[in-house]
Amino acid sequence: MRAIGAWAIALLSLAASSQLQAAAGYWSGSGPFGGPIYDVIIDPATPSVVYASTRGGLYRSDDSGSSWQRKDDGVTAGSSAGMVLAADPDLAGRLLAVDWSFRVFRSSDRGDNWTPTGFVPPTGVGVISVADVPGVAGSFYVLTSPVGVYKTTDNGSTFTEVVTGIAAGATASFIRTDRDAPNVVFVGVSDYYNSVDPAATAWIWRSLDGGASWVVSYDTAGFPANPGFTEDLSFGAGSTIYATASSQVLKSIDNGMTWSVGPVVGNIVKAHPTIADSVFVAKGYSGGAAGDTFYTSTDGGLTFSSTSTGLQPNTTYGGDAAITKIELHPNFASTPRIFLATSAAGIYFSNNGGVSFVERHTGIAAVNVRALTALPDPGRWLAGNGDAFTASPGIFSSANSGLTWSPANDGLRAYNIRAITVDPTVNPNPDDGPATVYAGGQSATSSFGGLRNGGLYKSTDGGSTWSVIDAGLPTSGSPGTVATVFAHGQNGRARSALLRIAANFWRVRFRTVADGLCDSHRNVRYRRWWRFDQP
């Protein structure tokens, strides 16, 4: 009944807030903002306009990311989450959005309205990326995996498959076109798998005639120490190209005819458009400390430095956010703006070439909230960011019934939170003091395998600060995620919590010495009951 009561309070508070309520009988949202960002692109004709594909749908900003509005009218339900985007520099306002299943939508008004193109997609493929054909209005490439290249010249109404010569069944990683050379196309392979071609060593393929013919650009045959499994590619100034393979940086100074191998840095790459020796590289996985996911090189990729600040979604844990894309301003040389899409922490923005970053996702409602509870303090809510397996804010707090949110993660050593519950025996009346709260989820992985902690956390000040209480909980092997925490009061003294971890149930008993409870546990089929004594 207490759990039902908490939800009832939350829903009544939502209904009572006139700023949240769009109209009687309708729901509207106001955050938390951020979450998984799959793609971000800047409008080539109007650089103050930015588009983002997120877990919460398609969004547009008209003020360089300061605020965002959802823009997916006309997109079929179930398609807008996780789309890849492309803007047509040769046709102002034209956008193409393609979902994983190769359903194609286009807009001619900067995303205000979308219409399906009517293209009937092939079966058994997933879309990886889209690339515009520079200088040719209405022309795009779509890359699928298993690897397949498709080209449209009519804004997505029809597509023709391009024969590349890459082994059928290989996994694709990227398709890139050179804005200064419309006929140049590069395609990357991330894996061949033994069942496809165990001897394959050709990782980057190149076409110089718009896809009519292809040759191998990067091959590790005879060079077993060179990395395979390519991940990203970016055209730099002149004939310079940078790529990444197995998180190692590759560089070509002859338009991809030959490549040199640089250090292990990350898997996302973006070359400076006018300075050949300048390049940015980022990690698509969280770093172990602040300043460990975004790097800059000014010597052609020989060395990299990491001095950027502001990329930690939780400044007390987890390092920098994992980056999924680097997007530079079209006039980056004179306007050094950078947008970073992240896998679990929204969008970050730099106005100084990457020296420092700030969050830039107000209005993007893409956080996957998997836990929500109302505290005894009226209007105070806590929300858990679920299914984040890289650095994220973890827990958000609202003091005004969900009207606005801010991170509440001081000391929270977790990436994702799947359960939040209030201890019913401590300060049930807000006048008595702050509530005690328990949260369950998952921490970062350990370099030795397993997890860094057991995924159970406690706050004695209403969620302002947190500590780990995982003694006896598993961290090695595949312990799973703490998905349920249920607190139960007993005579105002003893408290117990039932934890669901993957397929197992764990029971944790919190007591004082006066409770006189014995230490014990029992195992039953599909369930494990454990008890933990709180000092």
- Dihedral sign, Cα of residue 423, residue 426, residue 430, residue 435: negative
Is 97 a residue whose pLDDT tops 60? Answer: yes
pLDDT mean over 181-202: 86
Closest CA to 148 of 194, 117, 179, 187: 187
Q: What is the mean pLDDT of residues 204-215?
A: 96
Residue 496 scores a pLDDT above 80: no
Please answer whether residues 248 and 261 qualify as being in contact, where contact means their C-beta atoms are separated by less than 8 angstroms: yes
pLDDT of residue 108: 96
Q: Which DSSP string do the residues of 57-87 spell out, in sequence order?
A: EEEEESSTTSS-EE--TTPPTTTSTT-EEEE
What is residue 497's predicted lDDT score, i.e. its pLDDT? 54
Is the separation of the CB atoms in 153 and 159 below 8 Å? no
Tokens linked to 346 = 């929204």
Per-residue pLDDT, averaged over 307-311, amounts to 90
- Give the pLDDT confidence score for residue 307 in this predicted structure: 81
Of residues 318 and 11, more confidently modeled = 318
The pTM (predicted TM-score) of the whole model is 0.88
pLDDT at 448 over 80: no
Q: Can you give the length of the chain in residues?
A: 535
Return the number of other C-beta atoms located less than 10 Å from residue 76's C-beta.
13
Instruction: Decide if pLDDT at 525 tops 60.
Output: no
pLDDT at 478 over 70: no
pLDDT at 211: 95
Give me the percent of the chain exceeding a pLDDT of 70: 84
Q: What's the confidence (pLDDT) of residue 123?
A: 87
- Give the separation between CA 34 and CA 55, rounded to whole angstroms: 10
What does the pLDDT read at residue 479? Answer: 66
Amino acid at 248: Q
Are residues 365 and 56 in contact, defined by beta-carbon separation less than 8 angstroms? yes
The answer to which of 109-123, 129-143, 289-303, 435-449 has the lowest mean pLDDT is 435-449
For 363, the 3-state DSSP assignment is: coil
